[in-house]
Amino acid sequence: MLLYVLIVLVLLGAIAGGVIASRRRSGRGGVEAPERPPEDAPVHEAPSSVLEVPPATAVQAPAPPVAAPLEAPEREAEAPGPPRPLRERLGRARSSFGQALVRVFKRETLTDADWEDVEAVLLQADVGVAAATRIVDDLRARSRDVAPEQLLDVLRQELVQIIGDADRSLRSADGLTIWLVTGVNGTGKTTTIGKLALREHRNGRRVILAAADTFRAAADTQLERWAERAGAEVVKQAPGADPAAVAFDGVKAANARGADLLIIDTAGRLHTKKNLMEELSKIRRVIEREAGPPAEVLLVLDATTGQNGIAQARAFTEAAEVTGIVLTKLDGTAKGGIVIAVQQELGIPVKLVGVGEGPEDLEPFDPAAFVDALVG
């Protein structure tokens, strides 16, 4: 009997052991136990295999982790995600402008007070007095022939017409292309340069950035961070150096290294400060003397500063012959109408719009797409 009981126990034990072993093999039951050592596992056990690696391999082992951070921006540069539609990126500009007008145009007949509302919406969106007056006059005239709900379409056409046709591509030179980037402090010059460098690097160009903002502490570090991300090189001097000398160095280095594109960052300057504007003229003269006129002189305007941007654009154009405008921070303002004011009052083409702080948040300016996104 005892023997019989022992045999049964042994058999039961064998069956139980087999089940546990097979559950472990199949990964079920205590799923993570085989992969992850228990928390209190002796620390020396894991590295012991590293200690056993022959010395040559051990020396080479750290290489991948070091290489990885350097390669990451490259990979990021090669594989942008799908672009978000402009409508989404315009954010507040879009909702404030379009929705307010839709509400007015939904009314059956439009009274004088309604037309004043339309004008107020346009002015609040920074369209500017000249453009707002023109738009309201034209819409009122057309409202005699079309139903109110069609007025939004008429407005779209009107806005596209005011913005007008222009060559909005960034121009290139036959040899070295130079883009000089200007604007008041904090408008987004360095960020825009970073975005541009990344875009042009992806287009296969060898890009050099000249850090001619020698005034602001850490401006060159900020530029270097963008350069690393964009696969560009940076030319710089000590803080406080003559920015025209940095521009000069930039041209020399770009020619010597066979670069395709030199983008020159400049210090933010108040357009009302005469000596600073003269310094900008000097930078331009040095570039011209060394390499001919820059293919583009871009003025970076912060859309949130509204009508002050017009005064800035006038002063910068006088000092450095601005060829195109980059309108930044359109994602963060309800005043997208500044695009229309800039076109109406200055006639300098808006070439690019900044719609965020990320590397992909720079769009070529397409009037029809912009108006669609703005009006909704």
Contact positions vs ligand GDP (CB under 6 A): 183, 185-191, 268, 300, 328-329, 331-332, 354-357, 361
Q: Record the tokens describing residue 139, joined without a space.
A: 């819409």
Quote the least distance from Cβ 215 to ligand GDP, whole Å: 10
Token pair 């009037």 is at which residue? 367
Please say which residue, 143 or 337, places its beta carbon nearer to ligand GDP. Answer: 337
Q: How far is the CB of 352 from ligand GDP (least distance, A)?
A: 10
Q: Which residue is nearest to ligand GDP (CB)?
A: 354
Closest to ligand GDP by CB, 88 vs 357, is 357
Sheet holding 296-302, edge to edge: 233-235, 207-212, 261-266, 177-182, 296-302, 324-328, 350-354, 362-364
Which candidate, 302, 369, 366, places its Cα nearest to that of 332?
Answer: 302
What is d(CA 271, CA 254) in angstroms, rounded to the nearest whole number?
A: 29
The residue (of 158 and 265) whose beta carbon lies closer to ligand GDP is 265
Both tokens of residue 154?
A: 């008429």
Nearer to ligand GDP, 207 or 300 (CB): 300
Taking a C-beta distance cutoff of 8 angstroms, is the pair 200, 169 a contact? no
Compute the least distance from the CB of residue 264 to ligand GDP, in Å.
12
Question: Among residues 208 and 211, whose Cβ is nearest to ligand GDP?
Answer: 211
Q: What letter would DSSP give residue 331?
A: G
Amino acid sitting at position 206: R
Q: How far is the CB of 358 from ligand GDP (least distance, A)?
A: 9
Nearer to ligand GDP, 142 or 225 (CB): 225
In whole angstroms, how close is the CB of 272 to ligand GDP at the nearest point? 17
> Cα separation of 230 and 362, whole Å?
14
Tokens at 94, concatenated: 């879009």
CB of 156 to ligand GDP, least distance (A): 24
DSSP string, 59-91: HHTTHHHHHHHHHHHHHHHH---PPPPHHHHTT
- Identity of the residue, 261 or 327, whose beta carbon is nearer to ligand GDP in the bound complex: 327
* Rounded least distance, CB 312 to ligand GDP, Å: 12
Percentages of the chain per state (helix, strand, coil), in multiples of 5: 55, 10, 35
C-beta of 195 vs 201, nearer to ligand GDP: 195
**Least CB distance to ligand GDP at residue 186 (A):** 5
Beta bridge partners of 352: 326, 364
Enumerate the β-bridge partners of residue 328. Answer: 302
Structural contact between residues 234 and 220, judged by C-beta atoms closer than 8 angstroms: yes
Q: How far apart are CA 349 and CA 185, in angstroms?
A: 21
